[in-house]
Amino acid sequence: MKAIDLFAGCGGMSAGFIENGFDIKLAVEINGEIAQSYKNNHIGTEVIVDDINNIDDKVLRNFRDTDVIIGGPPCQGFSMAGSRIREGFIDDPRNYLFKGYFNVVQKIKPKYFVMENVPGLLTMQNGAVFNEIKRIFSDDVLLDGDKYYVHHNIFKAEEMGIPQKRERLVIIGALNKEYNFEETYDLAKKGILNRNDRFFDKVNVRDAIGDIPEPTKSGKVILNDISSDYQSSLRTKDGVTTNHLKTNHSKKAVERMSKIKPGENYKVLDEVIKSVHSGSYGRMERDKPSVTITTRFDTPAGGRYIHPEDNRTITPREAARIQSFPDKFDFTGSKTSICTQIGNAVPPKLAYFLSEFIKTIDEN
C-alpha cells in the first residue's frame, strides 16, 4: 500500500509502516535539518521541505493513488474561534497546520488516514476541538459526497512492547467504510503474534539498552552480546550502531548525579534545584520502563534521564532504543536537532502496529 507522511519529522512513523511493507511515496517536513535526517534513512521517498500549506495541487496530482495518509499535526495551533462555531475551526488561522493536513486528505481522498497527537487533545476546550476534528472528516459536504468513518484510541507504548511510559492519541479514518475498532484491534494483534509471538512482551530499560557499551567520541560502537529479544529485533547484522555520544556535563552536575540512586531524583540532594520538571535529576531503573522520552533527554533537569549506573544522561542511541528505532537508523544534524528528532518521533514499533491495523481494515 502507498502512503504519504505529513509532519514527518525524522521518520519514526514511516519506519514502522515501511517495515510492514508499505511504500512511503512522499514525506513533508518543514525543518530542513530534520528533513535531511529523514532523507538519509528513507532512500527512495520524495521529501518536500516546506510548510504543508505550500504544497502545490500539481504536486499532489502525482500521488492520487495514495492508500494512506499518516502524520500528526502539532496541537499547539488547535483552538476554537471564541464559542464553538463549526465554520470557525477549519478557517481559524491558528489551526493552519491541521487545515493543511485536512486539505491533503480532502484533495487525495486516501482510503485511510492515521492522525497521531497528544492525549490532551481529547479534553481541549472540554472536548470541543476533538469533536470538531471528527466532524470535519465525517462531513460529506466537505468531502464531495464521501465521508470517513472515524475512531480513536489512546495507545500505550508499554502495551506495544516498547520500554517506555508513553501515551499517544491516534485517530483512524476509513473512507466510506465502517469498521469495528475493537474487532480490528484484536485481529491486528493476532496477525502480528502469528509472525512474532514476543512482539507485545513487556520490556524494561535493561532489555532495551543492556547490550550498549560505554559511549565513544565518534558515537560509533560495537555492541555487547544480546541479552533480550527486544535488542535482537533492533540490532544490525554486524552489531554496530551510531549516535552513542554522551553529553559533556558540568562537574557540578556529575557530582549531583553521583548522589542519586535508581528511582531517586533531585529530592535526595541537599540543595535547592530550580526546575519546572518534577522528575528533575531522576535516575532510571533498569527493571522498569522509562518515562516518556522527550526532546530534553540529554539534560539532567529534563526528567528521569540519568543512566541507571553511569553519571550521565542517556545518549541519543539509548534514547532511540527506548523509542524502538532500529540500530541502523542514523540520526544526523546538530545535537539539539537529534534530540528533537528522537523525542518528537512516533515510536516505530507503535507505527508498525498501526500499519497492521490499516491492513486489517483493508482485508476485512
Compute the distance between CA of residue 30 and CA of residue 55 in angstroms, rounded to an integer.
11
> pLDDT of 108-119, one tens digit each?
999 999 999 999
pLDDT for residue 287 is more than 70: yes
Which set of grid coordinates corresponds to residue 326? Answer: 532500529
Catalytic residue among 1, 30, 59, 75: 75
Q: Is 75 a catalytic residue?
A: yes
Compute the distance between CA of residue 332 and CA of residue 60 in angstroms, rounded to an integer.
28
Question: Which residues touch 241 (CB under 8 Å, ≥6 apart)?
Answer: 212, 220, 221, 223, 235, 317, 327, 328
> pLDDT of 31-61, one tens digit each?
999 999 999 999 999 999 999 999 988 899 9
pLDDT at 99: 87
Helix (H, G, I), strand (E, B) or coil at 179: coil
pLDDT for residue 364 is more than 90: yes
- Can you point out the beta strands (E) in the chain? 2-6, 23-28, 46-48, 68-71, 112-117, 148-156, 164-165, 167-175, 221-222, 240-241, 290-291
DSSP 310-357: SSSBPPHHHHHHHTT--TT----S-HHHHHHHHHHSPPHHHHHHHHHH
Mean pLDDT of 330-342: 98
pLDDT at 338: 98
- Among 3.40.50.300, 3.40.50.150, 3.30.300.30, 3.30.70.1230, name the CATH number for the domain at 2-199+347-363: 3.40.50.150
Asked whether 30 and 39 are in contact (CB, 8 A), the reply is: no
pLDDT for residue 145 is more than 50: yes
Cβ-based neighbour number of residue 353 at 10 Å? 24
Q: HSE-up of 66 (CA within 13 Å, CB side)?
A: 26
pLDDT at 83: 43
pLDDT for residue 232 is more than 70: yes
pTM of the model: 0.95
**Average of per-residue pLDDT values in the chain:** 94
> pLDDT of 76-109, one tens digit each?
667 654 444 455 677 777 778 888 999 999 999 9
Which set of grid coordinates corresponds to residue 175? Answer: 473512507
% the chain with pLDDT above 70: 96
pLDDT at 79: 65
Q: How far apart are the first and last CA of the chain?
A: 15
49, with CB counted inside 10 A (0-12, 13-18, 19+), is: middle
Mean pLDDT of 275-279: 73
